[in-house]
Amino acid sequence: MNVPAAWYLVVGALLFGVGAYGLLTRRSALIMFMCIELMLNAVNLTFVTFSRTLSDVAGQASVFFVMVVAAAEVTVGLGIVVAVFRRRASTSIDEMSELHG
Amino acid sequence: MIAAAYSAAGVLVFVTASTLILVGAIGVIAVKNPVHAAISLIVTLFGVAVAFVAQSADFLAAVQIIVYAGAIVVLFLFVIMFLGVDRRDDVRVEALVGQRPLALAGVLITIAGLITLMARSHWVTGATSVSTTGAPLATGQGNVRQLGTAVFTTDLFAFEATAVLLIIAVVGAVLLARRERRVDDTFDDERNVEVSS
């Protein structure tokens, strides 16, 4: 398993880029949450790769906490999506424009 | 530093994991149906779990499958079913003028910046040889022991904070999803209001 760490880091960067592009272009709130999950997973992959490279378990502990925060974020975020959907019958973020100037 | 110098199994695992990761990620942002996007997300999460196993993060790979693919994606699918499967996002219509080219340019600059940063720094090369202080990363049960020791000793405060965070998230989700009765709420049908009151 001696693949160089740079390969995994490049995959992590590409995954982060794909997630960021989806977050910037898609308009469904559900898909945007999935793209946030993609970006979080890219960061997790980078953490684990550096953890292996530096032989330090602190990176894996960080991934553990990122997973907990991601679970909490998805729970609250999907609750917000459901609450908004009940009022607007849509998950498109373009329709949530009451606060624009 | 050529590819042939590395073990064939490691290269095979890397290619498999990265293919799963990137195909799933592109599937998430490209498909129209949210259910298909959730399935693609599972593919990506599984690929990341394979990459975790390949880099001696066995416990995190198991947690990745259980928490992400088992809980978070199921929660996504539950909300999609709850809101209606047939609501599709039309990916062809561009809402803002120039949104996609600008997003693509920004993302490409970000990726190029990240890769340049990694290539020019000394994080990647030579760090293994100088890191002789801590014990090397173990696999299997040893990995669980190392991670548990780190979480319950050095990161104990953060661990307790995550407990508080999870409680707050649960209470907040229940509060958000609770159906409250309002006079001007015309979207609620009368049956559910009567049941909940």
Judge whether B74 is closer than 8 Å to chain A, CB to CB.
Answer: no
Strand, helix or coil for residue A92: strand
ipTM: 0.90
Domain ranges of chain B: 1-89, 140-182
Mean pLDDT of B119-123: 71
> Does residue B44 have a pLDDT over 60?
yes
Q: Which residue in chain A is spatially nearest to B186 when comparing CA positions?
A: A87
> Does residue B133 have a pLDDT over 70?
no
CA nearest to B55, candidates A24, A16, A66, A63: A63
Residue A22 lies in a domain: no
Q: Which residue in chain B is spatially nearest to A22 when comparing CA positions?
A: B29
Supply the pLDDT for residue B10.
85
Report the gap between the CA of A85 and the closest CA in chain B (Å).
Answer: 7
Task: Write down the H helix ranges in chain B.
Answer: 8-30, 34-54, 58-63, 73-83, 99-120, 127-130, 141-149, 156-177, 190-196
The average confidence (pLDDT) of chain B is: 80
Report the gap between the CA of A86 and the closest CA in chain B (Å).
Answer: 7
- pLDDT 10s digits, B163-195: 999 999 999 988 887 876 665 555 555 555 455
Judge whether B106 is closer than 8 Å to chain A, CB to CB.
Answer: yes
Residue A19 lies in a domain: no
Residue A34 lies in a domain: yes
Contact (Cβ atoms closer than 8 angstroms) between residue A25 and residue B103: yes
Supply the pLDDT for residue B197.
44
Residue A66 lies in a domain: yes
> Does residue B161 have a pLDDT over 90?
yes
Judge whether B130 is closer than 8 Å to chain A, CB to CB.
Answer: no
Supply the pLDDT for residue B189.
52
| Surface-to-core class of residue B158, CB atoms within 10 Å of its CB (0-12 exposed, 13-18 middle, 19+ buried) | middle
What is the percent of chain B with per-residue pLDDT over 70, rounded to a whole number?
Answer: 75
- Distances in Å between the Cα of A73 and the Cα atoms of B3, B27, B68, B89, B184 are 40, 22, 12, 23, 30
Q: Give me the residue from B14, B175, B179 closest to A3, CB to CB.
A: B14
Question: For residue B5, what pLDDT band results from cuts at 50, 70 and 90?
Answer: low
- pLDDT 10s digits, B11-34: 899 999 999 999 999 999 988 888
Quick one: fold of B1-89? Answer: Four Helix Bundle (Hemerythrin (Met), subunit A) (1.20.120)
- pLDDT 10s digits, B71-87: 899 999 998 888 876 56
Q: Give me the residue from B17, B57, B107 closest to A51, CB to CB.
A: B57
Q: Give me the residue from A3, A38, A57 closest to B11, CB to CB.
A: A3
Q: Give me the residue from A2, A48, A71 closest to B7, CB to CB.
A: A2
Domain containing residue A35: 28-89
CA B162, B83, B39: angle at the middle one, nearest 5?
A: 70
Supply the pLDDT for residue B112.
92
Q: Which residues of B touch A50 (CB under 8 A)?
A: 123
Question: For residue A68, what pLDDT band results from cuts at 50, 70 and 90?
Answer: very high
- Looking at per-residue confidence, does B171 or B94 come out higher? B171
Supply the pLDDT for residue A35.
94
The number of distinct structural domains making up chain A is 1
- Distances in Å between the Cα of A93 and the Cα atoms of A32, B162, B173, B178 are 10, 29, 20, 22
> Does residue B134 have a pLDDT over 90?
no
Mean pLDDT of A25-33: 88
Mean pLDDT of B149-176: 91
